[in-house]
Amino acid sequence: MGIFLIVLIALAVLLVAANIKIVPQAKAYVIERLGAYSATWGTGLHIKIPLIERIANRVTLKEQVVDFPPQPVITKDNVTMQIDTVVYYQITDPKLYTYGVELPMAAIENLTATTLRNIIGDMELDESLTSRDIINTKMRSILDEATDPWGIKVNRVELKNIIPPAGIREAMEKQMKAERERREAILRAEGEKKSAILVAEGEKESRILEAEAEKASQILRAEADKEAAIRIAEGEAEAIRNVQQATADGIRMLNESDPSKQVLTIKSLEAFAKAADGRATKIILPSEIQGIAGLAVSLKELLTDSEADKTKKN
């Protein structure tokens, strides 16, 4: 009897220990009691009633990422493309996630494919290639609303790859090449234009500088000629002043020396001799000095005869 009791106690302890559950962080357990939903366990220690309660689903509450394979879609202008999407979602209600839909990921995948086809079907090829943000926003809004009854929140939807047909890709590559060549030609033409403008401006500046230099040179030469003329005029004026000063000094000295009548007579004769040395054929003498002039001629003749006699004697 004692052994049987010990065995029962051991089985009870093992049964209780087996039904003690610890829910980790960012996890939630959905509990059913006798086949019906009973509770949702959050993080912490919980004890499950043996044989009555069971864990129906273990749900992670962290944000999850699912990458769906490429889906064929047709644009408004009848171009078939392959587009694969990436969906970021998070479980907000473990009960709805468990009981809301069968195979939630398959449901989200199919919903994503149909939503993508509807959105791309209203766009042309070029618009669909350049409107990723618009497509992502529309898909996130539609998927979030559709998955709300399933306890799932769609945080973000991204178009991972958009793959047009091979012919379209070749045409796009040729178009891109032509566009790059056009831009290159435009840039080259703009560069040549700017270069020509800079060269013309440089020549203009050079000519302006040459003209300004020539103007400055002419001004300097004119100032030099003016300065030289002023110096020459000053020199001539100084010479005239010196001559006048010398004449004035000579007259002053004659006046101061009180010359005799004979000295004045001789000076007068020297002056008449200089006057007669010119080209004039007639000289009119004042009556006052005619007698003096005759006396001077007589003296000259006497001196000439005396010198002739001396020459004969010798």
- The 3-state secondary structure of 48-83 reads CCCCCEEEEEEEECCCEEEECCCEEEECCCCCEEEE
Q: Options 3.30.200.20, 3.40.1180.10, 3.40.190.10, 3.30.479.30; which CATH number does 64-164 get?
A: 3.30.479.30
What is the value of pTM for the model shown? 0.54
Strand-pairing partners, residue 53, are 33
pLDDT at 249: 74
Residues 24-78: tens digit of each pLDDT: 999 999 999 988 999 999 999 998 888 888 999 999 999 999 998 888 898 888 8
- SS3 call for 41: strand
Higher pLDDT, 154 or 51: 154
Higher pLDDT, 139 or 274: 139
Residues 180-202: tens digit of each pLDDT: 888 889 998 998 899 889 988 88
Higher pLDDT, 74 or 297: 74
CA 148, CA 144: separation in Å to the nearest integer? 6
Question: Whole-number mean pLDDT of the chain?
Answer: 81
Strand-pairing partners, residue 41, are 29
pLDDT above 60 (res 239): yes
CA 119, CA 135: separation in Å to the nearest integer? 7
pLDDT at 302: 47
- SS3 call for 259: coil
- Residue 102 Cα distances to 42, 98, 208, angstroms: 23, 8, 88
pLDDT at 175: 81
Instruction: Quickly list DSSP for 153-196.
Output: EEEEEEEEEEE--HHHHHHHHHHHHHHHHHHHHHHHHHHHHHHH
Residue 275: pLDDT band with limits 50, 70, 90: low
Q: To which residue do tokens 């010359």 refer?
A: 259
CA 181, CA 175: separation in Å to the nearest integer? 10
